[in-house]
Amino acid sequence: EDTDSDTSHSFRTQVCNSYLPGLPVREFWYDTTTQQDADNDKHDDPFAWATQLRAKFPAIQREFQTFVTAPRIEQEQQGNNIWSGALTADAASYGVGWKTLVLQDRGQWDAVNCQLFPTTAQALRDCGAPTTEVFFASMAPHSEIQPHSDFTNFVLTSHLALDIPTTTDNGKVELRIGDTTRPWVNGH
């Protein structure tokens, strides 16, 4: 347990099978309203790759939309494990209907799936994003991802929303990390 971290809230407590002591804990490292890390100025931005990737959002979204509008059978015939469900019990706890289409797993790019999304794969390579996993995720309508952990404290998860519904039953889609909740909108 990191003594500098507030673990009073259940969402801030996780089991870490791989742990580096002394790393700071933050729910959101990158402020999408200012497009920079809150602790760094624009000249020393360790998240410059995120700004570069976000600039490619329109092209990535178009490529994604073109693919997902094709018949499901065509999608499955063209790629590897297209829209696979959870492979582990931990991943299954994310929520009903959570599925992925993987471009990179454990640092290895899936050449077949990257050919389906060449703009996306190239944008990720060009911006220098420090990736170990890259995937599109899909959820069933009116579902939630349950609180979960990746079992490490040194892996940064980044999301680029491509197809977020404009309204839900409560009129909003949100992303909650620990105790912090923010609106989740396309391009962020």
DSSP sequence for 49-82: HHHHHHHTHHHHHHHHHHHHTS-HHHHHHHSSST
Phi, psi of 175 (to 5 degrees): -120, 120
Q: Residues 120, 62: contact at Cβ < 8 Å? A: no
Provide the token pair at 113.
């799936």
| Through-space distance between the first and last CA atoms of the chain, rounded to whole angstroms | 31
* Rounded Cα gap, residues 127 and 134, in angstroms: 14
CB atoms within 10 A of CB 124: 23
Looking at per-residue pLDDT, the higher value among 53 and 27 belongs to 53
Percent of the chain whose pLDDT exceeds 90: 35
**Does the pLDDT of residue 2 top 70, yes or no?**
no
Q: Residues 92, 86: contact at Cβ < 8 Å? A: yes
Strand intervals (E) in the chain? 30-31, 36-37, 99-105, 108-109, 134-138, 174-177, 180-183
User: Running DSSP on this structure, what letter comes out for residue 135?
Assistant: E
**Does the pLDDT of residue 20 top 60, yes or no?**
yes
**Does the pLDDT of residue 106 top 50, yes or no?**
yes
pLDDT of residue 168: 52
* Rounded Cα gap, residues 98 and 85, in angstroms: 6
* Rounded Cα gap, residues 154 and 126, in angstroms: 23
Highest mean pLDDT: which range of 52-66, 97-111, 155-169: 52-66
Residue 177 bridge partners (DSSP): 180
